[in-house]
Structure 1
Amino acid sequence: MNDHTFAICAYKESPYLEECIKSLKNQTIKSNILIATSTPNDYIKGIADKYAIPYYINEGEGGITQDWNFAYSCANTKYITIAHQDDIYEKEYLKIALAAIQNAKHPLIFFSDYFEVRDGKKVTANKLLKVKRIMLLPMRIKSLQSVRWVRRRILSMGSPICCPSVTFITENLPEVVFENHYRACEDWEAWEKLSKKKGEFLYSTKMLMGHRIHEESETTAAIGDNKRSKEEYEMFCKFWPKSIAGVIFKFYSKGQNSNQL
């Protein structure tokens, strides 16, 4: 419990926040839990008080990356998982994550496969999930998890890593993980930056958390105003010449439909 923290990013009045907290409380290994928000209100504070969870208010600049970095900074443990308020975690998530971390030489992040939650139902397979699992096939081989070239080749074709499934090993990472200029690809940009570092990207093929897809999610909003398309093209340009990046982007952008209801 002294080594890990679930840092929940709460925003406005999500009806799914309490379900997220319950899934963290039900972990087979107990952990620290905190709530961080840049939109303080009685609803969030009431739930924090109900479950006796420390409650932190970001009084600086708000925004998705600012909120993630603030939540990250509120946790003073070796391992941190930034939990999104709408998502849920399987009870074995932390047990499996810690076991993988403790058996690694120089881990940077741990992440797992995941399922989607749509209209309250668990969706374990669709086109997007299948493509991401295919992209991550090389990461099933433990010896390849520390090979920078392999990580970068995977990320050069898109971002198959589900952000809320990630546990950060803080002692091996920079103080600031997320850069502040993307709205939809901020996590992909972080993985690209971390992929250059020496160490391991630990991957579990078990579906250890559920990512909720709904109309008010940040992913859906970013797709709706076309910001995601611009950012994705810029990300491909970090790996490829612009002419090739444009071709890959055309195919990749079709997958955006899977994040819409």
Structure 2
Amino acid sequence: MQRDLSHSFVVPAYGRSPHLRDCLQSLRAQTVASPIVVATSTPYDGLEALAAEFGARLCVHGPNGGIGRDWNFAVSQADTDLVTIAHQDDIYLPRFAERSIAATRAAPDVSLIATGYGELLGERERFHTPMLLIKRVLLELAFLGRRRIGSLAAKQRALRFGCAISCPTVTLRVDADGPGFREDLKVNLDWDAWLRRARRPGSFVYVRQSLMLHRIHASSETTAAVIDGVRAREDMEMFRALWPPAVAGWLARVYALSYAAGERE
């Protein structure tokens, strides 16, 4: 019998998030225990004790070089086959690790696992917003009822109309030769990384259950990027990598409507 792939959580901690404790508590409460690494370039008094409280290993690097460098460093600290980049403001439901690992058993060439998710707005959980529905539809167009896809065409279908694969739901197969995250991007470094993975051998696996909660709040990096126009520029770059220029421009304008209305992550 093939052994289960080993798994760990890495948490790129930036600044003082009031939600980091809840995130770490949710990782510690998983039905299948996974090592936890907290990686930061902005350490502060009390962070080491907080990590230790939940059995997490704290790794500090510097100087701060942006989100891409933070994520690349965090992933580099994992010594497991699989790694989930757990966002410090989010909550992972108890069976996230168990079901993500289990989903790889029928996909020995797995490159990426994504799960369903809900949103957390204040204390209110929501699983049926228009944007969540759109993302589920886009993923179904790629997977067509299957749990696993391996062709370039199918994997790119999950990314051609926007990034339907939500970053905090993703568990990656660690590959020393595989693509990391671009450090010149501020918003779409996940979309770019998934696209480069799609163009390499390896399967994408989709676990349809909602297994984590993504926190929506006005102080997020994404919100700031929408305001200063970074997201619009990076969206256009991604669409141009997938479509002719005229189609890319039209899709970018349509895509912008979702986050202008506060619906996107």
Using the size of structure 2 for normalisation, the TM-score is: 0.93
**1:180-259 counterparts in 2 under 5 A?**
180-256=183-259, 257-259=261-263
Aligned residue pairs total 260
Match of 2:152 in 1: 148
**Relative to total residues, which structure has the larger helix share, 1 or 2?**
1
Contact 2:148/2:206, CA 8 A, preserved across alignment: no
Match of 1:31 in 2: 34
Report Cα offsets for 1:91-118 as digits up to 9, x if no partner: 1111111111122131001011110111
Q: Which moved more, 1:148-157 or 1:24-33?
A: 148-157
Give, in whole Å, the separation in 1 of the partners of 2:72 and 2:263.
Answer: 24
Contact 1:20/1:88, CA 8 A, preserved across alignment: yes
> How far did 1:60 drift?
4.1
Give, in whole Å, the separation in 2 of the partners of 1:105 and 1:260.
Answer: 33
Match of 2:58 in 1: 55
Secondary structure of 1:206's partner?
Answer: strand
Unpaired segments of 5 or more residues in structure 1? Answer: none
Unpaired segments of 5 or more residues in structure 2? Answer: none
Match of 2:102 in 1: 99
Q: Which runs of 4+ in 1 moved over 6 A?
A: none
Give, in whole Å, the separation in 1 of the partners of 2:145 and 2:201.
Answer: 17
> How far did 1:154 drift?
2.8
Give, in whole Å, the separation in 2 of the partners of 1:2 and 1:237.
Answer: 36
Match of 1:115 in 2: 118
Contact 1:10/1:44, CA 8 A, preserved across alignment: no
2:162 to 158, 162, 182: 158
> How far did 1:39 drift?
0.4
> How far did 1:50 drift?
2.2
Give, in whole Å, the separation in 1 of the partners of 2:54 and 2:63.
Answer: 26
Residue 213 of structure 1 aligns to which amino acid in structure 2?
A: I
Report Cα offsets for 1:136-193 as digits up to 9, x if no partner: 113253376112101213311110111111111114x635421111111110001111
> Are the structure 2 counterparts of residues 79 and 229 from structure 1 closer, same or farther at C-alpha, using a change threshold of 3 Å?
same
Q: Which moved more, 1:51-60 or 1:125-134?
A: 51-60
Give, in whole Å, the separation in 1 of the partners of 2:116 and 2:182.
Answer: 24
> How far did 1:41 drift?
0.4
Contact 1:214/1:260, CA 8 A, preserved across alignment: no
Contact 2:179/2:193, CA 8 A, preserved across alignment: no
> How far did 1:2 drift?
8.6
Match of 2:79 in 1: 76
Give, in whole Å, the separation in 2 of the partners of 1:160 and 1:212.
Answer: 17
Residue 95 of structure 2 aligns to which amino acid in structure 1?
A: E
Match of 1:88 in 2: 91
> How far did 1:51 drift?
2.3
Percent same amino acid at aligned positions?
Answer: 34
Contact 1:33/1:54, CA 8 A, preserved across alignment: yes
Give, in whole Å, the separation in 2 of the partners of 1:242 and 1:55.
Answer: 44
Using the size of structure 1 for normalisation, the TM-score is: 0.94
> How far did 1:128 drift?
0.8
Give, in whole Å, the separation in 2 of the partners of 1:175 and 1:189.
Answer: 13
Contact 1:65/1:186, CA 8 A, preserved across alignment: yes
> Are the structure 2 counterparts of residues 199 and 181 from structure 1 closer, same or farther at C-alpha, using a change threshold of 3 Å?
same
Give, in whole Å, the separation in 2 of the partners of 1:131 and 1:260.
Answer: 11
Contact 1:36/1:56, CA 8 A, preserved across alignment: yes
Give, in whole Å, the separation in 2 of the partners of 1:215 and 1:34.
Answer: 27
